[in-house]
Amino acid sequence: MRTISYSEAINEALREEMQRDPGVFILGEDVGAMGGVFGVTAGLLEQFGPERVMDTPISEAGVIGAALGAAMMGLRPVAEIMFGDFLGCAGDQLINQVAKARYMSGGKARVPLTIRVTTGAPGAAAAQHSQSPESWFMNVPGLKIACPATPADAKGLLKAAIRGEDPVLFFEHKMLYAVKGPAPDGDHVVELGQARVAREGSDVTIIAIGGMLPRALQAAETLAARDRPISCEVIDPRTLVPLDLPTLVDSVKKTGRVVIAHEAHKRAGPGAEIAALLAEHAVDYLDSPIARVAAKNVPLPYAPALEQFVLPGAQDIVDAALRVMR
């Protein structure tokens, strides 16, 4: 087990999958010569050449359309959308083509397409480069959605996505790229649809999505250090579609209280769907209303002080846990 960064884990997964399967290739804006705007694809152009690491024009619809065609013809493209905010530019390709191609062909057309997308606020990037758009696509059948929060899961889930037969939106939080953590050597694959218990506890279940996981673990430490300690079980769903509901329900059976934390806006965010599912499947075990911690329902401000006011943090999770404990 080594310690590597989140971005190194993604780079390693791409490199290993390109070595393993000649049908895997990368395309997107600045993925080649620049090595990606966040440096995640650095070195891959030099190793695999421009036929397998393709810099594209600035056209998200073109990137996704080309990747869809390649996937349907038997290749395994990994397309990069530089900022999640730009997924709207490829909306028709994603919603009406990528998500539906396999279904509308009666299963004859496979779509082994992975779309890497940056998500979340990197700090003072303003309203068009800071959004967390995961829930936009939870409403679209045919798309899988992964939100890795650790280097090990970034590598393992990306490998699983590339090897699968269905399109996967792979959301990488910008503020996690430099975060380091343990990652297994060798061919590490994490199946989509399996949540991970990041910290065991008995009083409150905290479901933390993507970049909120480190803040949830920080909140759990704060709550455990109180004069009257509160024991938090922290769960990382890892994927939103498919969602590992049994693991979430099992935790609720144990704790009776739930806090759901994500950086997306609160209204109709991922937490709304998870809360609804727990209300359907675990209401008999709940001793308190479900609490959601999320960004306020306003565009992301540019000013750092205002941005921090809008975004959720560890203290917000602490406050929510105290509320459900009452």
* Residue-wise pLDDT tens digits, 4-62: 999 999 999 999 999 999 999 999 999 999 999 999 999 999 999 999 999 999 999 99
Q: For domain 196-325, which architecture applies?
A: 3-Layer(aba) Sandwich (3.40)
Query: Strands 180-183 and 2-5, how do they pair?
Result: antiparallel
CB distance 130 to 124 below 8 Å: no
Report the sign of the C-alpha dihedral through residues 39, 85, 162, 272, in that order: positive
pLDDT given for residue 226 in this prediction: 97
The mean per-residue pLDDT over the stretch 224-251 comes to: 98
Residues in Cβ contact with 58 at an 8 Å cutoff, skipping those fewer than 6 apart = 29
Place of tokens 């979430």: 248
| CATH fold label, 2-183 | Rossmann fold (3.40.50)
Residue 6 class from Cβ within 10 Å (0-12 exposed, 13-18 middle, 19+ buried)?
Answer: buried
pLDDT band for position 324 (50/70/90)? very high
CB 154 within 8 A of CB 6: yes
**Cis omega before residue 301 (within 30°)?**
no
Would you say residue 186 has pLDDT above 90? no
Distance CA 234, CA 174 (A): 21
Tally of CB atoms within 10 A around 103: 12
The per-residue pLDDT for 313 is: 97
- What are phi and psi for residue 124, nearest 5 degrees? 55, 45
Q: Residue 185: count other Cβ atoms within 10 Å of its Cβ.
A: 8
DSSP 113: -
Cβ distance 30 to 55 under 8 Å?
yes
Tokens representing residue 276 in the block: 């609804």
> What is residue 185's predicted lDDT score, i.e. its pLDDT?
87
Q: What is the pLDDT of residues 188-211, one digit of tens each?
A: 999 999 999 999 999 999 999 999
H/E element, 266:
none
In the chain, where the domains are located: 2-183, 196-325
pLDDT of residue 207: 98
Q: Given this model, what pLDDT does residue 196 score?
A: 98
- Fold: same for 2-183 and 196-325: yes
Q: Report percent pLDDT > 70 for the chain.
A: 100
DSSP-derived 3-state class of residue 129: coil
Of residues 67, 66, 76, the one with CA closest to residue 163: 76
DSSP helix/strand/coil, 233: strand
Return left, alpha or beta for 210; rule: phi > 0 is left, psi -120 to 50 is alpha, else beta: left
pLDDT tens for 118-146 read 999 999 999 999 999 999 999 999 999 99
> What pLDDT digit, counting tens, does each position of 268-297 carry?
999 999 999 999 999 999 999 999 999 999
Find all residues with CB under 8 Å of 187, minimum gap 6, and list them: 16, 159
The CA-CA-CA angle for residues 263, 266, 269, to 5°, reads 80
173 is catalytic: no
Give the confidence band of 224 by pLDDT, cuts at 50, 70, 90. very high
Among 203, 225, 209, 206, residue whose Cα is nearest residue 172: 209
Average pLDDT of the chain, as a whole number: 97
Q: How confident is the model at residue 1 (pLDDT cuts 50, 70, 90)?
A: confident
**Cα gap 25→120, rounded to integer Å:** 26
